[in-house]
Structure 1
Amino acid sequence: MKLKFKVQPYQTSAVESVVDCFAGQVNTSGITYRIDPGRVVKGKTIGSTVETDTGFKNADIQLTDTQLIENIHAVQRRQNLPLSDTLASSEGCKVNLDIEMETGTGKTYCYIKSIFEMNKRYGWSKFIVVVPSIAIREGVFKSLDITAEHFTESYGKKARFFIYNSKQLHHLESFSSDAGINVMVINIQAFNATGKDNRRIYDELDDFQSRRPIDVISSNRPIVILDEPQKMEGKKTLDALSKFKPLMILRYSATHKTNHNKIHRLDALDAYNQKLVKKIAVRGIAVKGLAGTNAYLYLESIEISKKAPVARIEMEVRQGNGIKRIVKRLEKGKDLFVESNELDQYRGFVIAQIDANNDTVEFTNGQVLTAGDAAGDVTEATMRRIQIREAIRAHLQKEQRLFAQGIKVLSLFFIDEVVKYRDYSQPDEQGEYGRIFEEEYEQLKAEYLGELALDNEHYRKYLARDKVSKIHEGYFSIDKKSKKLVDPSFKTRGEEAGLSDDVDAYDLILKKKERLLSFEEPVRFIFSHSALREGWDNPNVFVMCMLKHSDNTISRRQEVGRGLRLSVNQQGDRMDHAATVHDINVLTVVASESYKDFVANLQREISDALSARPRKADEAYFTGKVISTETGSLEITPIMAKQIYKYLLKNDYTDDADQVAEAYHVAKASGNLAALPPELAPHAEHIFGLIDSVFSESQLPDVGDDRKPKTNPLNTNFEKREFKELWNRINRKAVYRVEFDSNELIRNSIRAMDKELRVTPLQYTIQGGEQAEQVTHDQVKAGQGFEIRETVTEEHKASIHSSVTYDLLGKLAESTQLTRKTIAEMLSGIQPAVFKQFKQNPEHFLAEATRLINEQKATIIIERLTYDGIAETHDIDIFTAGQSSQDFTKASEKLRNHIYDYVITDSKVEREFVKELDTSAEVVVYAKLPRGFLIPTPVGDYNPDWAISFKEGSVKHIYFVAETKGSMSSMELRAIEHTKIECARKFFAEINRKIDPEHVKYDVVTSYGKLMEIVGVGGDR
């Protein structure tokens, strides 16, 4: 697959912020100069390049300092940035511009596009991208490569780019002599070292005609772009930068340490609120001691069942071969002492309460666990196993949902040392984490395959396709002699401390960037060294797990930054549709600390990074700000600033410290902001933009607890007049009456059982085999040392009376809701050969007899059934009960016309039906009726699927209750289903009879097209 790129407004804004600082600069391309030929004869061939005297360099900046600062002010005003007093000179260069862009928003793309745009507008063509590490260098080079075609289409030209290498200096000849766009990528280690560590860039080199590479580079007056400048602020690096004689320096980072002239800001808040990066969710694991006991307990999660909540608890269980830790599904009242096979440490641990709202389990001894709590004997190994299991579980949950949308899910494990993943001293070379991963994955995979819906066959095949050994891979350095994985080397001192210089590991990751996104590639889980934290990412990392000792050298923002980029599908398209971006793009972080602690620390780091934002929404802040209007720019006067300030005070949108209050953001999000004064109202959008730029704690991104069930709230469609009218029409209860002749039912049932009751006899298979003539070691290892010679299948002939006593009459009476007397008459009337089958397979006989009797009962009921309406109605609570405990792996994308944000669909037919309903011009509002909306029938309660309100005049029947089925063939509908549907027809007919015949239309449809045929498009039909 190939990644696709498109023009994004927010990235265009970042580019314009740079190029507009030079408005008025004359486009002067092709400034020539004489290249230093060195001590060689002109025309001598070096490699494949013929030397030339003529070089092309960047033209000088023609603007005065006053013009430059005016341009910078214009750029800063339109973004509400503080105005710079002067040009911030640094490193021998008077133009130093800061561009702040959050990780994952494409800053590399932005500065590459800025290169093309500056060449187009001003003719500048020589650029150097300086990076702090090999990781980032490789990432930049890869970005230049994969965006080349995209920019060629946009600008009609290509850029020539290369990585500086002192052993390949012919690239510098081309860099100087080529008139087109030239980009050199260089890491600081290549030029900031001196003495014995000198990287030759400052030496006169015999293989470079006795010239110094730095002199050839600086003659081009290059534009220098610093990627992550906060990592390159050591004195040696800054002194070395001046030797490039840069025309200007552009600094791109999410976290600037030193400020120059800031001309663009897209910080963490902007990126999250504009939905440009993934939303973050956390699975924290808290170690909790339980007083007076060493009982190991881990509360994995709480499941909502039809009856009562169930807790998934990992505990120790005594087994024949010792004590083993097992995950059990336990209900209220379960005694862990019994469940553990009487391990003493669990005495007193009886589940007293399971609270699904707060995700807690309380025991009768007073102990309380919250989901994610690990208690008792929690060793380092136990913690890591829990983390790995939770990461796999999160991966499978996301994968099951996103697979149908063509999105491959990747998970990333950060570890401290290779031996934890690949241990070459072990026979299978598996490290501790690799072995745990495979054990936990196999268990969870089996669990998921057992629970997958039958209509999810494509994902089932994908999940079952690959062996566990094929789905994970380690990205580490490779020892050149042994070809084995080794720990990366990285600096431990100086400004480069913690930065790896390991090229092999990054090379592996980057070469597979697009391949990893394909379903064809089996690798879905990546183990990598925690030192490899920058310079690479993959848009489809959805789960991150930190299997390492916590320290303060790496911030949580740095860690999650590897997974913030928005995902892409199999066609390479970014999943950035505004309405659904955070439904799809959620990064789950499995932390080795509690959810509360991780979130608090992450929020603090984000808040600290936003220190440059204004904190007070007072008159002084608003005065002098410039906003755009239809007629041009407008400066906020002191009078206008006072009006804005009073507006905020009057509506309690600021607190006593003049900080923007949460009430403002809540009101804005819900569309309920108080109206601005008439004088300000025409500029409302831009004034609210000014207010938004003031930092407040309530703006910090919402980091969700990934264990809590996703909520499915009722939305504004629920309040629409059309839905209220629809609900009032169908919200009726009724009771049914049915009278039928028992003798008729007995006769029909006997006839049906004689004709159709067929039972499969119990069978057993006998296989015989012998050892193969010649057996290899591999065959023995694989369990293939014997060959099957004969297979015989025989029926089980033993009488049922030999072991189990069945209450045949009682079982059938219970499952058909008939009397024992009626059942006895049926069984005594069937053929002896039919009844004899009971002994061959009693369970199958019971199931078949029940089905046939109920089908005959259902057929008779339809003819004799009547409904009587009653005054009672359904409680409105049925719309909110259980909405937070649904299986969101079957959820639709976020919807427009439904009363909930999402619909949990049960089949492909329903999924297609939802898509049609939500995009239909005729549908005003619709609902998948909650399970509490039940119609009583003699064969069980019936829950219709859909209630739909159409636009006035667009169809004949305004209100419609629908049942969706994949087929309308009576042969493919079970008799019980058919009976319930016919009962529903009579129920709605009774409702309509008392009001009007067209009050509500009920029918069964196979598709949206069939629905429109039934209701009739156009009000004149």
Structure 2
Amino acid sequence: MKIKLETLQHQIDALAAIDKAFSGMDIMSNDPNANYIYANPLIRYRYNDKANIDIKMETGTGKTYVYTRMMYELHQKYGLFKFVIAVPSPSIKEGTRSFITSDYAKQHFSEFYENTRVQLNVINAGDFSARSGRRNFPAQLSEFVEATRQNANQIEVLLINQGMLHSKSMHRNDYDQTLLGGETAPIKAIAATRPVIIIDEPQRFPRGKKFYEDIEAMKPQLIVRFGATFPETTTGRGKNKVTKIDYYRGEPQFNLDAVDSFNQGLVKGIDIDYPDMTEEQANNLYKVKQAKAKELILSKGKKEYSLSVGENLADVDPGFEGNITYAGGTDRELSNGLTLSKDMKLIPGTFAQNYQDEIILQALDCHFKAERENFLRLNSGDNAPKIKTLSLFFIDSISSFRGENDGKGWLAQHFEDILTKKLKKLIDHYEMAIDDREKEYCSFLQATLKSLQSEHQDVYAGYFSEDRGSSDADIQAEVEDILSNKEKLLSFKDKDGNWLTRRFLFSKWTLREGWDNPNVFTIAKLRTSGSEISKIQEVGRGLRLPVDETGHRLNQDEWQSRLSFLIGYDERDFAQKLVGEINDDSPIKLNQEELTDDMIKLIVKAKQKADPKFNEDQLLDDLDAHNVITRSNKFKDDVAFDGQIMSGYDALCQLYPELEQETKVAKDRVRDKNSRDSTTVKLRKQNWQQLKNLWLQLAKRQMIKFDPSVNKDAETVARNVFNDSDNKVFVLQRPQMVHQEVDTTSGNAVIKETQADYSTEYLTMNYGKFLKILAKQTDLSVNLLNNLMIKAIKRLRNNTNYINEKTLGNLIRTFNNQFNERIKTSYSYEPLDFSSSTSIYNAKKHEFVDTVPASVLGVYQSNATSDEKYLYDRPPLRYDSADPELKILNRSYGPKISVFGKLPKRAIKIPRFDNGTTTPDFIFKIEHGNKPIYLVIETKAENMRLGDEEIHIIQQKYFDHLKESGVYYRMATSEQEVHDLINKLENGELN
């Protein structure tokens, strides 16, 4: 597979902004060195901040592509040919080097800039090492500095990281050779080339600090900064203290902020997930009071605990599993590599191996969910190219992964065990597949399992900083594939047609920056990051839009999967912080007290996309007409709008939703999978506690127990199905061609579609496979099915062409429909010894949840007066039908009704005989002497859904075993019927 770079509109917009902001060339310069062949031609306003340019682009949107293409553009248009790229770290330097030197990048840029090439010179640590007592310049530096304009088709680029740039080697002047006829200091030799300097990650090069001084020492004519984050400057003190972002020219010349990137689908949407804990576990936390070189002080409440270097955390609390000690030193680390800082919270339970296993298990669930979607591409058309799915795990220490003495660490062993079980389960599911793509996926899974169980598995790999000095050939192969062989990681097969199964990568933050792969769909943090770094930076390795197996970069409409980001319980506020960070990146700050000029400009600009004539006066007139603002543009407090009383700011957002759409990330772009829906309804816990005793019984899992006669029923149904006298089940199957043509005879263009056999040969199946699938899908024995098939084929004149996929599907569907109809009353419920969590009840914590998604209570809402007996906060009321649901909810109930309310979907998981679950609609608690009565209602609207009668039978059977507990179940078709039932129960008229 070859990656195909494609020109994206936002990248073209960034290049256009650079071209517009570029000040041009100093053609008329009187500088005697203007034509110096070793240096760039002269730029107007050179060495001046007003020449410099800032380009703001969010992580994952392709800033490396933009600044690489910018070099080609500036060379083609203006003859600039010497560029220095300054990056903050070796890992980012490696990522930049890998992109610029890749074959796919060279091929892409050659389409636009024919015969032009980039000569990339990279300065690394060790390049200045003295040899034979002599101190010489590295060859890469000499080539960059001494290259001339005479090679008109070559762009010279020097790539260097800030540590190398700040080193003594770059600034000393005692080398045994000179550059450009006299320069003995590398930094001065670079300055003589009059370079254009590109700064990647500008927040790491703040003005006035040492690393920016190194930039200035190279005397750049022009600086172009590219980043998602820019440095801040602070002026004044105390109340007069003002912090603002330090941009050249006061603002970026191109601004693709985080809100735009997420909302426009230029990066993946994100799902956040973490293992839940009991309230008791979550409250058992310790704070880092001090982390010194030789001592760690933890606090819990008013108590303090002191640990010296080498002492075990388990001595403080047995919950700190894993033999974790305090390592101390200048990094203030634990032995598992976690860097400690003041006020950091440590939860003992999150250090246990079984806790790590839970995150791994969740991560693999997320991985294979995405992998199936990306491999099968069911919603993307026939034969849509597959997408290779990768997952990235950040772990606590290399020893937990690599182990010792050529063995595997405990983490690698646990990962293999969990992955093996997952693979076997998936293979069992897909080995019966009929669809070609599903068969192919099964082959991929089988190859993965085979490799995982081999001596040198090729399914997962790790890269750690310690690996750089390793002599192990297998480790070096892993590192090479991860760091440099992006196309191999994105490919499904090698040149010989063998599956490439590597898709799980492990690291200790080494891959957090610089490294990128567009097809990372799951990131799991098996350790906390240890510091308050940017949340966008943490998810950044998985934000890029994916590429398919042909190398094509997909847009948000071409695939379904999102980035799953798994974290520990101690970071459960991650989603909230990430959303806050994204929204803070908006250049417009919303003011809920008054309508600011920036807010006006934003609304007008957004509205003009649809109505170019829309202006500020129209906006203000409209807000004035709706009584939203005062004459000084302050928001009014109580505004009557759409039948409700709200603040002026809220009314503005209702009238002009563009305001928040342009400044806030859309709710579906970052989702906390552990939280409830973004629109939630709060439970009134005191009311639900009145149902606690009943709920302890409802939470018990129930098993469906069929009557002994069911097996005979199955055989009877099977014989009826196979005795297909009308030949509707047993059919012949030929390959067909679909023909479409445009018909305009009716005056409108319509497509007419016909199907016709394109071959006289029949499609058939292997008989053994046919029986195996049939037995699995019907739960009938192979022997019975074989006997029935022999008789059926004999009746069909021994024509085995009837053994095909269509016949198989007909047999399975017809049998299941007839069998379910026959057994729908031939079973009972039997309670089991364990409970299960539902949408309303957490069985682990033995308590009701705090909130539920509004959607599980109903798709519609209505304002209503509050009722203290209701199970939820109200208004608004949520409901699915106006009659009878809304009428039931709006009715006032007498004093004997202590609590009532609508039951959320999946509140009671009643198992159905035909699989799935069902839940009734309402519950009422009726005081009746010493023993309360619970009325459970299933409503039936006029537009009764299919299967309501079956649901009634299922629920009636289920609640029969709760009669002794005072549970009374009925189906009701109207609000009056419910009222009558309540009256009869209150009066003791029903048993």
Q: TM-score, normalised by structure 2?
A: 0.52
Q: What RMSD in Å do the two structures reach over aligned CA positions?
A: 5.3
The residue type paired with residue 722 of structure 2 is E
The reply on whether 1:142 has 2:142 as its aligned counterpart is: no
Alignment of 1:195-344 (within 5 A): 198-199=169-170, 203-206=174-177, 208=179, 211-212=183-184, 213-233=186-206, 235-257=209-231, 258-261=246-249, 262-289=252-279
In 2, distance between residues paired with 1:433 and 1:548?
A: 12
| Secondary structure class of the residue paired with 1:287 | coil
**Is residue 28–residue 59 contact of structure 1 (8 Å, CA) maintained in 2?**
no
* Matches for 1:165-180 after TM superposition, within 5 Å: 165=123, 166-168=137-139, 169-177=141-149, 178-180=151-153
Shift of 1:264: 1.2
2:397 counterpart of 1:417: yes
**Is the CA contact (8 Å cut-off) linking 1:267 and 1:610 kept in structure 2?**
yes
1:85 matched to which residue of 2?
A: none
Q: What is the aligned-residue identity percentage?
A: 26
Question: What secondary structure is seen at the aligned counterpart in 2 of 1:190?
Answer: helix
Matched residues in 2 for 1:545 and 1:854: separation?
Answer: 50
Match 1:851 to one of 714, 718, 725: 718
Q: In 2, distance between residues paired with 1:458 and 1:602?
A: 38
Aligned letter for 1:265?
N
Aligned 1:36-115 pairs, distance under 5 A: 54-61=37-44, 93-115=49-71
Partner amino acid, structure 2, of 1:413: F
Distance in 2, Cα, partners of 1:61 & 1:176:
21
Structure 2 Cα separation of the partners of residues 2 and 163 of structure 1: 25
For residue 492 of structure 2, what is the aligned residue in structure 1?
519
Query: How many angstroms apart in 1 are the aligned matches of 2:43 and 2:348?
Result: 70
Once the 2 structures are TM-superposed, how far is the Cα of residue 132 of structure 1 from its aligned partner? 0.7
> Paired residue for 1:159, among 114, 117, 142?
117
Q: Structure 1 pair 555/511, CA: closer, same or farther in 2 (3 Å)?
A: same
Match for residue 597 of structure 1 among 558, 573, 579? 573
The correspondence of residues 871-890 of structure 1 with structure 2, limited to 5 A, is: none
Q: Give the one of 130, 148, 165 matched to 2:86.
A: 130
Corresponding residue number in structure 1 for 2:387 = 407
Indicate conservation of the 8 Å contact 2:273/2:565, yes or no.
Answer: yes
Distance 1:558 1:161 in 2: 30
| Counterpart-to-counterpart distance in 1, 2:803 and 2:673 | 35
Name the CA distance, whole Å, in 1 between partners of 2:217 and 2:114.
33
**Structure 2: gaps of 5 or more residues:** 124-136, 232-245, 285-346, 378-385, 494-499, 643-650, 679-706, 743-748, 754-777, 779-801, 822-991
Q: Unaligned stretches of 5+ in structure 1?
A: 36-52, 64-90, 295-374, 488-502, 665-672, 678-686, 712-809, 818-846, 864-906, 925-940, 942-964, 985-1021
> For 2:666 and 2:58, how far apart are their aligned partners in 1?
16
Q: What one-letter code is carried by the residue in structure 2 that aligns with 1:449?
A: I
- The equivalent of 2:471 in structure 1 is 483
For residue 289 of structure 1, report the CA deviation from its aligned partner: 4.3
Q: Could you give the per-residue CA deviations for residues 433-476 of structure 1, whole angstroms, max 9, x where no partner exists?
A: 11110011111112222233523211111011132232010112
Displacement of 1:158 in angstroms is 2.3
For the structure 1 residues 244 and 171, does the alpha-carbon distance in structure 2 shift closer, same or farther, using more than 3 Å as the test?
Answer: same
Query: By how many angstroms is 1:184 displaced?
Result: 1.7
Q: Which residue of 1 aligns with 2:684?
A: none
SS at match of 1:55: coil
Equivalent positions of 1:824-903 (< 5 A) are: 851-852=718-719, 854-856=721-723, 859=725
Judge conservation of contact 1:651–1:674 (CA < 8 Å) in 2. Answer: no
Contact 2:360 2:524 in 1 (8 A): yes
For the Cα contact (< 8 Å) 2:517–2:544, is it kept in 1? yes
Question: Could you tell me whether the CA contact under 8 Å between 1:293 and 1:376 is conserved in 2?
Answer: no
Residue equivalent to 1:435: 413
| Aligned residue type for 1:852 | R
Matched, 1:540 2:512: no
Match among 415, 434, 439 for residue 457 of structure 1: 439
Q: CA deviation at 1:859?
A: 3.6
Between the aligned partners of 2:534 and 2:63, the Cα distance in structure 1 is 20
| Counterpart residue number, 2:544 | 565
The equivalent of 1:587 in structure 2 is 563
Q: C-alpha distance in 1, partners of 2:369/2:815?
A: 35
SS at match of 1:562: helix
Distance in 1 (alpha carbons) for counterparts of 2:553 and 2:8: 11
Mean Cα displacement is larger for which, 609-618 or 437-446?
609-618
Query: Aligned partners of 1:101 and 1:291: how far apart in 2?
Result: 41
CA shift in 2, pair 1:692/1:16, >3 Å: farther
- Say whether the 8 Å CA contact 1:967–1:973 is kept in structure 2: no
Match of 2:597 in 1: 620
| Shift, 1:6, TM fit | 1.6
Instruction: Tell me, yes or no, if structure 1 residue 470 matches structure 2 residue 463.
Output: no
2:258–2:583: 8 Å Cα contact kept in structure 1?
Answer: no
Give the whole-Å Cα distance in 2 for the aligned partners of 1:4 and 1:969: 40
Give the equivalent residue in structure 1 for 2:11.
Answer: 11
Q: Distance in 1 between matches of 2:228 and 2:812?
A: 64
Q: 1:458 to 1:966 in 2, by over 3 A?
A: farther
Partner of 2:648: none
Aligned counterparts of 2:212 and 2:32: Cα–Cα separation in 1? 28
Secondary structure, counterpart of 1:170 in structure 2 = helix
SS at match of 2:83: strand
Q: Amino acid of the residue matched to residue 463 of structure 2?
A: Y
1:407 alignment partner, SS class: coil
Which letter does structure 1 place at the counterpart of 2:75?
N
Q: Following the alignment from structure 2 to structure 1, what is the Cα–Cα distance between the partners of residues 422 and 676?
A: 19
Aligned to 1:728: none
1:638-678 C-alpha deviation (Å, 9 max, x unpaired): 635634654887699xx98699x9x99xxxxxxxx99999x
Q: Which amino acid aligns with 1:440?
A: I
Deviations 1:965-986 (A, max 9, x none): 99697798549849989xx9xx
Deviations 1:874-909 (A, max 9, x none): xxxxxxxxxxxxxxxxxxxxxxxxxxxxxxxxx999
Give the letter aligned to residue 267 of structure 1: D
CA distance in 2 between partners of 1:27 and 1:159 (Å): 25
CA contact (8 A) 1:283 1:588 kept: yes
* Worse-superposed segment, 537-546 or 92-101: 92-101
Shift of 1:417: 2.1
The answer (yes or no) to whether the contact 1:98–1:250 under 8 Å persists in 2 is yes
Map Cα deviations across residues 750-799 of structure 1 (whole Å, 9 max, x no partner).
Answer: xxxxxxxxxxxxxxxxxxxxxxxxxxxxxxxxxxxxxxxxxxxxxxxxxx
Distance 1:217 1:676, change over 3 A: same
8 Å CA contact retained: 1:26, 1:122 = no
Q: 1:57 to 1:382 in 2, by over 3 A?
A: same
Give the corresponding residue for 1:389.
361
Q: Structure 1 pair 908/629, CA: closer, same or farther in 2 (3 Å)?
A: farther
User: What letter is aligned with 1:703?
Assistant: V
Q: What residue identity is the alignment partner of 2:515?
A: W
Counterpart residue identity of residue 2, structure 1: K
Distance verdict in 2 for CA 1:700–1:33, change over 3 Å: farther
Alpha carbons of structure 1 residues 118 and 376: separation in structure 2 relative to 1, 3 Å:
closer
Contact 2:628 2:635 in 1 (8 A): no
